[in-house]
Amino acid sequence: MAEFISIFSQLGYVLVPMHCLKGYTSSKKFLFFPIQSNHGCLKSYLYIARMKKVLVTGGAGYIGSHTVIELLNSGFIPVIVDDFSNSDERILSGLEEILGFSPVLYRCDCTQMEEFRKIFQSELPDAVIHFAAFKAVGESTEQPVRYYRNNIDSLLNVLELMQEFNTRDLVFSSSCTVYGQPDELPVRETSPQKTATSPYGYSKQVCERILEDFCFANKNIRCALLRYFNPIGAHPSGLIGELPYGTPNNLVPFITQTAAGIREKLTIYGNDYSTPDGTCIRDYIHVCDLANAHVKALEWLDSHPQTCEAFNLGQGRGNSVKEVVDTFVKINQTPVQAVMGPRRPGDVEQVWADVSKALEELNWKTTRTLEDALKDAWRWEKHLAQ
């Protein structure tokens, strides 16, 4: 029996006794064999589930690393492809500590086609989750070509390789930046996309358009465009989280670094907006909830024919920057030196998501609060300081 199990697991299958089947979904294919008792009568069934292999580009990054854990917890086999342009070894050791083993990893730049092709060739993935991209809005205005080259070339390579190796399903990391400042709130998937305010935002709009065209031309491809609102927080273990290089661009790492004494003070950009306390409003979502949405999207794709569908992923409500700072101080009993500064060019005043489509179609909703996210983010910052 042990040999039998070992052969199947090498081939990417997992053996599941029938009583353990709960939690496995129809997205995995099952074979089942009767198990006989010593007396020759039927005792149970042994199911063999083929686990889907998912190539996770950018899987050593912030959202990617949390998604790797969710994939494994849900019966998928993640294969990480990352060039470590915005990640480092601490995420790998954190993942290993959480999982008890190291996930399969390739150090590769997705814009390098020949190297990337070899990974597809040896792994033959069932699906791809494409996180790999540069993401700093401000930096993108200074280095537009670098951003367009990385974000668009890497997607084009993914698509050519999916065609070449018959990979059917793709989950793409998009962003609420595709909406700009919407006319109506909450913003729906059908809301018009305004002119992008940065090369980063435009690269996401272009990628979405490329994907729509690609799916239209390739009837066997299924794609989910996940429009993230504002991911924050960290894994509750405090072993992985957001790892900004240099000065953080996002609010929560700036708060935690200020609380930890790495930054002298936090500047809140603008308190004269038309919002209740004058500061900008965003829809903050715990990164673990966001990671879980990727699993739900893969499962959804599996039960849908050719498609290219966009989903908003957020809490479905907004919190102001000031509220986030105050909540952090209160929940962690830790002071943060915050000062008001002028507005920052390009900032949208307020945006939050209508998430009803994700609930209805993906059967997904958030389960963690702003307080949970800020506690987890602080635990991660303290872990980094050790």
30/212 with CB nearer ligand NAD: 212
135/322 with CB nearer ligand NAD: 135
Cβ pair 218, 210 in contact under 8 A: no
CA distance 111 to 117: 10
Based on the residue annotation, tell me whether 228 is a catalytic residue of this protein.
no
Candidate list 173, 198, 205, 319; residue touching ligand NAD; CB under 6 A: 173
Q: Which of 308, 347, 361, 284 is nearest to 141 (CA)?
A: 347
286 part of the interface to ligand NAD, by CB under 6 A: no
93 part of the interface to ligand NAD, by CB under 6 A: no
How many Cβ atoms are within 10 Å of 285's Cβ, its own excluded? 25
154 part of the interface to ligand NAD, by CB under 6 A: yes
Residue 62 CB, nearest approach to ligand NAD (Å): 4
CA distance 81 to 383: 25
Q: For ligand NAD, which stretch binds (CB under 6 A), given 40-48, 78-86, 333-341, 361-369?
A: 78-86
How many Cβ atoms are within 10 Å of 260's Cβ, its own excluded? 15
Give the three-state DSSP class for 265. Answer: coil
Candidate list 140, 175, 279, 319; residue touching ligand NAD; CB under 6 A: 175
354 part of the interface to ligand NAD, by CB under 6 A: no
Residue 113 CB, nearest approach to ligand NAD (Å): 11
Among 147, 200, 202, 273, the active-site one is 200
Q: Hey, what are 186's tokens?
A: 């909450």
- Residues linked to residue 128 through DSSP beta bridges, in sequence order: 55, 170
84 part of the interface to ligand NAD, by CB under 6 A: yes
Residue 321 CB, nearest approach to ligand NAD (Å): 15
206-235 mask for ligand NAD (x: CB under 6 A)? ----------------------x-xx----
Candidate list 70, 82, 126, 309; residue touching ligand NAD; CB under 6 A: 82
74 part of the interface to ligand NAD, by CB under 6 A: no
Candidate list 70, 109, 289, 309; residue touching ligand NAD; CB under 6 A: 109
* Residues in region 41-70 near ligand NAD by CB under 6 A: 57-58, 60-64
- The one-character DSSP state at 18 is G
Candidate list 120, 131, 254, 352; residue touching ligand NAD; CB under 6 A: 131
CA distances, 361 to each of 2, 88, 128, 309, 357 (Å): 40, 35, 20, 10, 6
DSSP string, 25-90: -TTSEEEEEEEE-TTSSEEEEEEEEEPPEEEEETTTSHHHHHHHHHHHHTT-EEEEEE--TT--HH
150 part of the interface to ligand NAD, by CB under 6 A: yes
Q: For ligand NAD, which stretch binds (CB under 6 A), given 92-100, 125-133, 264-272, 293-301?
A: 125-133
Residue 273 CB, nearest approach to ligand NAD (Å): 20
Name the helix (H) or strand (E) containing 201.
helix 199-217
How many Cβ atoms are within 10 Å of 266's Cβ, its own excluded? 21
Contacts of 178 (CB under 8 A, 6+ apart): 193, 196, 201, 204, 205, 208, 227
Residues with a known catalytic role = 200
Q: Contact positions toward ligand NAD, by CB under 6 A?
A: 57-58, 60-64, 81-87, 109-111, 131-133, 135, 150, 154, 173, 175, 228, 230-231, 250
